[in-house]
């Protein structure tokens, strides 16, 4: 399931975050690459243990926890501390698949990467190219969202970032370990949850059908979730 999370950060939050990370020192983006990614990646990255990355990442984690659409879609168990990358003119990231297990350097924190996420921190008008292209079962999906918007998609997907031909593309990226490992099961739960919310808005939360459907949702979650 590929889903956009609009306005995860508002314009003021994006401006504060950009002021913090733009003033920091950036390094070669292959600092956190696996073997396959290192062959494909040409961009810059904030060191993951830098104060700017840690403080900005904490802001994003707080925003994710307060975003109902993200929680409903991802059913997150753990979120890898957000990282930050920058694509200047000519920078690109060729087709690759994200590593299945992500380990935070210098710690015992690790997750199974069920979902990948990109939070756009540059307005689309500020750069040409730089689209995130995700290979979906319905064909390639090209994603270039407004600053503050986020896209979440299966980490198992082949994807790439097209070359930037003008300006600079700045984004945060991270991975999620979901309570529900199977993407198809997460999709069903997300659709069911949306249906329950719509029925509750129309009929009232206490309507017997809404109560029954809510029970079905939680019993499926109980069957599929691992915590």
183 is in an annotated binding site: no
Burial (CB count <10 Å: 0-12, 13-18, 19+), residue 46: buried
**Which DSSP category does 145 fall into?**
P
159 is in an annotated binding site: yes
Spatial separation of the C-alpha atoms in residues 72 and 113, rounded to whole Å: 17
218 is in an annotated binding site: no
In this structure, the number of other CB atoms found within 10 A of the CB of residue 116 comes to 23
The closest alpha carbon to 114, from 132, 95, 100, belongs to 100
Q: Any bridge partners for residue 173, and if so which?
A: 83, 118
**Which DSSP category does 146 fall into?**
P
Q: What is the chain's length?
A: 227
CB 113 within 8 A of CB 99: yes
191 is in an annotated binding site: no
Spatial separation of the C-alpha atoms in residues 16 and 10, rounded to whole Å: 10
Binding residue ranges for 2-oxoglutarate: 169
The binding site comprises 96, 98, 159, 169
Q: Which residues are annotated as a binding site for Fe cation?
A: 96, 98, 159
């Amino acid at each position: 399931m590929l889903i956009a999370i609009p306005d995860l950060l508002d314009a003021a939050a994006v401006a504060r975050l950009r002021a913090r990370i733009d003033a920091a020192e950036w390094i070669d983006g292959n600092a956190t690459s696996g073997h396959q990614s290192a062959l494909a990646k040409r961009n810059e990255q904030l060191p993951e243990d830098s104060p700017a990355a840690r403080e900005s990442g904490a802001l994003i984690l707080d925003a994710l926890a307060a975003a109902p659409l993200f929680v409903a879609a991802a059913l997150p168990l753990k979120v890898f501390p957000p990282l930050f990358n920058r694509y200047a003119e000519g920078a690109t990231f060729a087709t690759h698949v994200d590593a299945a297990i992500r380990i935070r350097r210098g710690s015992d924190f690790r997750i199974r990467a069920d979902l990948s996420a990109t939070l756009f921190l540059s307005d689309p008008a500020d750069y040409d190219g730089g689209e995130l292209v995700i290979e979906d079962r319905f064909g390639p999906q090209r994603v270039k969202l407004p600053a503050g918007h986020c896209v979440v998609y299966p980490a198992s997907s082949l994807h790439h970032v097209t070359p930037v031909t003008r300006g600079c593309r700045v984004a945060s990226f991270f991975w999620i370990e979901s309570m529900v490992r199977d993407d198809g099961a997460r999709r069903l739960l997300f659709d069911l949850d949306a249906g329950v919310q719509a029925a509750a808005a129309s009929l009232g939360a206490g309507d017997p059908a809404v109560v029954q459907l809510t029970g079905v949702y939680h019993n499926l979650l109980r069957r599929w979730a691992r915590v």
